[in-house]
Structure 1
């Protein structure tokens, strides 16, 4: 996916992230999706694909189960996104576990013992 780094793409990604997070808390009734945190949304150049980054308090072991649940909820989420943001074209949602924090832990310099 060719990501867009334009200001408009970043703003739209932030709006999508806020709406999705709100929908997960307030409207989605799947217990698997409780405590899912949407950590970011990256759009491609033509805004047709939104890569939705997420984490969960249970950690990486919950990823397959949560990805399936998010995929099942995709139609509902896209419909509500269109209504909330009044978008002409609603991007396809692709869910991906956010590895940012994991990468930070593994890439951190070793601590010196004093």
Structure 2
């Protein structure tokens, strides 16, 4: 638009200002539509903690941690549990020691899991 007015020796500055104002109004209207659509999408999109019952989980864990774990697994799908955990904490797996743990004997139902190989950091703790 500026090039058109710049090349026209008879162009009126008032016409340029009016045309410029119309273009700016159209841009503002489109930006507002985008902002409104984004706001509507975020309102309709469920958050990872929607439908979560932390007090119930805490109550069950206080009474019986095994019951709380079973309830957690029954109540929420794996995808929901992952979303909830990723919202609350960062889970980092670190390299565990190689080889069998001391005192391990195959066939006795023992596992290789090393709890020290998992680091859980609450979101916002700054650690």
Larger strand proportion of the pair: 1
Larger gyration radius, structure 1 or structure 2? 2
Q: Which has the higher helix share?
A: 2
Give the TM-score normalised by structure 1: 0.26
With normalisation by structure 2, the TM-score equals: 0.24
**Higher relative contact order (CA closer than 8 Å, sequence separation 6+):** 1
